[in-house]
């Protein structure tokens, strides 16, 4: 009986060690370490929370990158508008037909910018929803004692600041104001991106530390567990050998008794 119990116990120890070595986990069931299992489960929940936060921040960062791409396109368009206005301001060197051609280009550029604002999206979400390009570059000037507001819409054909016969000095001010607005938006995106990346770094360090702490509790120490396995296997073999010896002794004893009875 004692040898059978020893064999069962050592067999369990061998199987436990083999499981720990195979899974790489010191805790595979609550019985392995109840307190450790509780701690690991709490860490797993915390780990999932951190991973979700990092994923959400990454989504925001990518979305900001997409917005930055759109703003870069607007910045290039503003440079084009500025070039057209500067060219049109050289009134003495241009014919009416040439100024009309510049106006066509300007109108096309503004329409293209509005198209980008209306259609640019990130995973189905409009990035510039509600943005009206024609209202950008807003400035207020005093005309005949009254405040008058101008914006990019006034640079269109028929507007007060059109390239054919409009006020080019004011047109330049409007374009400059629009460019400053675009630069400000890009700067804000850059600051927001840096903030997100900073938060991600903090969370990544926290996640790394948490993973390391969990590993200390949960993961198998291969050197120690291999030694435990070898010890358990030796004890198992010894228990089996002891049982065999006991069985043989018992058999010999029975045979001796039978022979004595025969005599």
| Distance separating alpha carbons of residues 240 and 251, to the nearest angstrom | 16
Three-state DSSP class for residue 149: strand
Q: Which residues pair with 199 in a beta bridge?
A: none
| Distance separating alpha carbons of residues 103 and 65, to the nearest angstrom | 33
| Digitized pLDDT (tens) for each residue of the chain, 263 residues in all | 555 555 566 666 555 655 655 666 666 666 777 888 788 889 889 999 999 999 999 999 999 999 999 999 999 999 999 999 999 998 778 899 999 999 999 999 999 999 999 999 988 889 998 999 999 999 999 888 899 999 999 999 999 999 999 999 999 999 999 999 999 999 999 999 999 999 999 999 999 999 888 888 876 644 554 655 456 565 556 666 565 665 566 665 655 655 655 55
Up-side HSE of residue 123: CA atoms within 13 Å toward CB?
6
Q: pTM for the whole thing? A: 0.69
Largest CA distance in the chain: 146
User: Which residues have C-beta within 8 Å of that of residue 143, sequence separation ≥ 6?
Assistant: none
């Amino acid at each position: 009986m004692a040898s059978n119990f020893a064999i069962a116990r050592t067999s369990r120890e061998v199987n436990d060690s083999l499981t720990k070595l195979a899974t790489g986990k010191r805790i595979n069931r609550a019985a392995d370490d109840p307190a450790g299992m509780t701690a690991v489960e709490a860490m797993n929940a915390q780990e999932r929370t951190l991973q979700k936060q990092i994923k959400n921040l990454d989504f925001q960062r990518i979305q900001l990158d997409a917005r930055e791409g759109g703003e870069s396109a607007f910045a290039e368009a503003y440079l084009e508008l500025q070039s057209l206005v500067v060219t049109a301001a050289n009134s003495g060197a241009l014919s009416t037909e040439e100024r009309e051609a510049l106006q066509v280009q300007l109108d096309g550029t503004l329409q293209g910018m509005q198209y980008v604002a209306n259609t640019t999206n990130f995973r189905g979400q409009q990035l510039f929803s509600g943005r009206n390009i024609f209202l950008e570059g807003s400035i207020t000037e005093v005309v005949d004692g009254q405040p008058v507001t101008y914006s990019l819409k006034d640079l269109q054909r028929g507007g007060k600041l059109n390239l054919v016969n409009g006020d080019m000095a004011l047109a330049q001010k409007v374009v400059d104001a629009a460019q400053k607005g675009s630069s400000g938006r890009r700067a804000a995106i850059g600051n927001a991106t840096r903030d997100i990346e900073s938060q991600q770094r903090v969370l990544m360090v926290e996640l790394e530390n948490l993973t390391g702490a969990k590993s200390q509790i949960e993961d198998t120490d291969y050197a120690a567990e291999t030694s435990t396995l070898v010890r358990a296997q030796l004890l198992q073999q010894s228990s089996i050998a002891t049982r065999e010896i006991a069985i043989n002794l018992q058999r010999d004893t029975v045979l001796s008794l039978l022979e004595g009875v025969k005599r």
